[in-house]
Amino acid sequence: MSNELVINSTPEGSRIALMRDKSLVELHYDNDETKFQVGDIYLGVVRKVVPGLNAAFIDIGYDKDAFLHYLDLGPKVRSLLKYIKLAQGKHHKHVSENLKQFRLEPEIDKLGKINDVLKQNQKILVQVVKEPISTKGPRLSCELSLAGRYLVLVPFSNTVNISKKITDAGERRRLLKLVNSIRPENFGVIIRTVAENQEVSELDKDLRDLVTKWGEGVSKLKVATPKEKVIGEMNRATSMLRDILNESFDSITVDDREVYDEIRRFILQIAPDKAGIVKHYSGKTKLFEHQGIEKQLKTLFGQTVSLGSGGYLVIEHTEALHVIDVNSGNKSNAENNQEATAFNVNVEAATEIARQLRLRDMGGIIVVDFIDMKKAEHKQKLYQHIKQEMKADRSKHTVLPLSKFGLMQITRQRVRPELSIVTKEKCPTCNGTGKITASIAIADQIETEVMYLLEKQNDGKFKLGVHPYLYAYFTSGFPSRRMKWFFKHFKWVKIFEDSSLGLSEYKFFDHHDEEISLK
């Protein structure tokens, strides 16, 4: 299985496509105006405390105040507030980035009230955990964390947690012992799945980089003003590479020299052995067209998505949930066994659904209406298949078995706005209105304008371009409509066929082949 990352630079920013076996599975946009990304840490100001919601609204510079719930404060929030006060106080120069000498405050009550912790106009460090979506502002957390390739650094904590996906007991003990031996005091660590079987030198380097990043953030905090970004997440391309480069990547193709140099430097820093897979594309054809991505975008983001076997999906979006309907299409004519047909189409649809959820970054509740199957064995196999297909999805998700109505429910965490690409183009005939001039009146309309040019403008050297059907109407028979014009004005009108024009479209051109506008 091949994995490729294709990065296309445009005037608006970068488009990042993740390909698996030449098939598009993820698409991201990264532009200069992108703010409030997941992972960014801001110095916010408490604008309103709402005891009824047990939450507060924080101003971090977005149009709408961001939302911070009590459960997202984290048990160590009092330590965080104390540190902010010290760092922003008169003696901030004596505040060390190293938390070794810092005395942690007691943890807050899990069932406490937000107005016991936060007050209006109070300054607080917050991290974006969910980007602004629709009419909602960002979702925030005070449990700060800095993600590296192998480790996640958690300030004001002394615990070490290991990814549940590392199942080998011996390896878990090894990692726990190693990280505890290199972990600075008052810094917690989360060991990521990719740290499995890594050398202590790699883990130590990753940890030191994260501590340095925290130190740089603290230096900014000392002089930061409210609503200022203190620690920023890296751009989307490099953050994707940090998270997924451990997979079997074959190539990273970039069409911008600066982005190419930036990514190559990043790869040399985190995985020098993979530096050779970064390639700079300089062809004449646009990169996304050259890689066949542009065509996939137009076919994969519509309301209807075709399956290879002839079946298709219909994807509907509502305010509360997403609904996906699976249809067999002409597949039902190919097999005699209805149960086998339903199962085969459903399995193929499940693979495509898992891909569509990642591609569009659909979140919340997704209800899938599969084709009805009778056998419990087939239902179980379908359930296991879609769970397996969604293992590659980095967003948190839950898949429930088929209900007795043949519906499957999926919940998927969404931290960014859903991706939507316009796949329909404006009709050139009606110009998007859905209405055209009555076909019976087109010939009369053209003839009126021909008479205007011949009589009022005294122009006998113009040309008329029309649909082939109208061309036949004006030139066929004896005497034809054109010949009648000639007998009346003694001027021959050149008419030519243009199959690119709609039935109700026509164009006049002068003797220099420049279009004549009569509007």
**Residue whose token pair is 């948190």:** 396
State the amino acid at position 379 in one-letter form: K
Q: What is the pLDDT of residues 182-203, one digit of tens each?
A: 998 889 999 988 888 888 888 9
Q: Which CATH class is domain 1-32+234-291?
A: alpha beta
pLDDT of residue 193: 86
pLDDT of residue 501: 80
Whether the pLDDT of residue 363 is over 70: the answer is yes
| Coil/strand/helix, residue 377 | helix
Q: How far apart (Å, rounded) are the C-alpha atoms in residues 13 and 373?
A: 46
Of the candidate ranges 319-333, 348-362, 365-379, the one whose mean pLDDT is the lowest? 319-333
- Integer angstrom CA distances of residue 162 from 139, 174, 507: 25, 11, 70
Average pLDDT over residues 324-328: 90
Instruction: Looking at the structure, give the CATH architecture of the domain made up of residues 301-410.
Output: 3-Layer(aba) Sandwich (3.40)
User: Where in the chain is CATH 2.40.50.140?
Assistant: 38-229
Q: Which has the higher per-residue pLDDT, 248 or 153?
A: 153
In sequence order, which residues have a C-beta less than 8 Å from that of residue 446 and are 6 or more positions away?
464, 466, 470, 474, 506
Contact (Cβ atoms closer than 8 angstroms) between residue 370 and residue 346:
yes
**Using CB atoms within 10 A of its CB, is residue 429 exposed (0-12), middle (13-18) or buried (19+)?**
middle
How much of the chain, in percent, has pLDDT values that exceed 90?
A: 24
State the amino acid at position 219 in one-letter form: S
User: Where in the chain is CATH 3.40.630?
Assistant: 301-410
Contact (Cβ atoms closer than 8 angstroms) between residue 28 and residue 101:
no
Q: Which has the higher per-residue pLDDT, 460 or 433?
A: 460
CA-derived radius of gyration, the chain? 31
Q: What is the pLDDT of residues 17-59, one digit of tens each?
A: 888 888 888 888 776 555 778 888 999 999 999 999 999 999 9
Q: How far from chain centre, in Å, is Cα 518?
A: 45
Whether the pLDDT of residue 369 is over 70: the answer is yes
pLDDT-based confidence at residue 324 (cuts at 50, 70, 90): very high
Whether the pLDDT of residue 423 is over 80: the answer is no
Q: Which has the higher per-residue pLDDT, 459 or 301?
A: 301
Whether the pLDDT of residue 161 is over 90: the answer is yes
Q: Which has the higher per-residue pLDDT, 360 or 248?
A: 360
Q: What is the pLDDT of residues 487-511, one digit of tens each?
A: 888 888 899 988 778 777 888 888 8
Whether the pLDDT of residue 431 is over 70: the answer is no
CATH of 38-229, one of 3.30.70.330, 3.40.50.1000, 1.10.3720.10, 2.40.50.140: 2.40.50.140
User: Where in the chain is CATH 3.30.420.140?
Assistant: 1-32+234-291
Whether the pLDDT of residue 437 is over 70: the answer is no
pLDDT of residue 417: 63
pLDDT of residue 244: 65
Of the candidate ranges 38-42, 91-95, 115-119, 351-355, the one whose mean pLDDT is the lowest? 91-95
Say what the pTM is: 0.67
pLDDT of residue 433: 59
Q: Which has the higher per-residue pLDDT, 94 or 224?
A: 224
Whether the pLDDT of residue 257 is over 90: the answer is no
